[in-house]
Amino acid sequence: MKLFAMVTSVSMNNNFALIMVDMGGVLVRHDDTSMEKLLLKDFGIESYGSFAELNPKLADVLQQHSKNAISEEQMWQQFTQKTGIVVPPYKGSLWAKYFHPDLDMGMHELLSELKQSGLRVVCATNTEPAHYEHHKARGHYAVFDAVYASCEIGKAKPEPGFFIHILESEQVDAQEVFFLDDNTTNCEAAARLGIHAYHYTDMADLRWTLCYLELL
């Protein structure tokens, strides 16, 4: 059981009130790295597989954009400043050009089951405005009772403020929350606040864990 909170504190009959779920890599199949690789190819760069590989400082630029602290235009300007690579013109959102995620219907069904059992299920996602609008337009958030997107709340995982914002908005204690994410850093950050965090890798293990906790 891959819980980042102390396993001894997570037993059956816990009084869980909220399921907090990541989006990319959990409910939707999408890999930012593959998208970045395609964009770099458009920029004439084929020797790097991701923005972070090209320049580690770009991670902070992307984080700032995911919090809507900078616009996409400003993000590309900073990209050029840090890499020397001139971004070619593109009509519309370049960041959305290769963003074509598919819903994982197995996960969708699982979240629906959790809701049917009486649990409140919310989305806790780091996402940029273009990607957020893409999901909204296609109804990808419809399964959730509420959506907490970094570009809307101005905070992003793994910042403690991101999780605290959700706890306060939902009026729940950290110990009442089961958090599901495919990123270990995010899980560790949530666990430090007392949230029961689970590192998601496959559906079978997740279902076993939820059954053990009597959430299914």
Q: Are 30 and 99 in contact (CB under 8 A)?
A: yes
Q: Cβ distance 41 to 187 under 8 Å?
A: no
Quote the pLDDT of residue 7. 36
Q: Is the CB of residue 15 less than 8 Å from the CB of residue 21?
A: no
Considering the entire predicted model, what is its pTM? 0.91
Q: What does each of the 216 residues of the chain score in pLDDT, given as a tens digit?
A: 566 543 334 444 468 999 999 999 999 988 788 899 999 999 999 999 999 999 999 999 999 999 999 999 999 999 999 999 999 999 999 999 999 999 999 999 999 999 999 999 999 999 999 999 999 999 999 999 999 999 999 999 999 999 999 999 999 999 999 999 999 999 999 999 999 999 999 999 999 999 999 898
Q: Is the peptide bond before 158 cis (omega within 30 degrees of 0)?
A: yes
Q: How far apart are CA 111 and CA 92, in angstroms?
A: 33
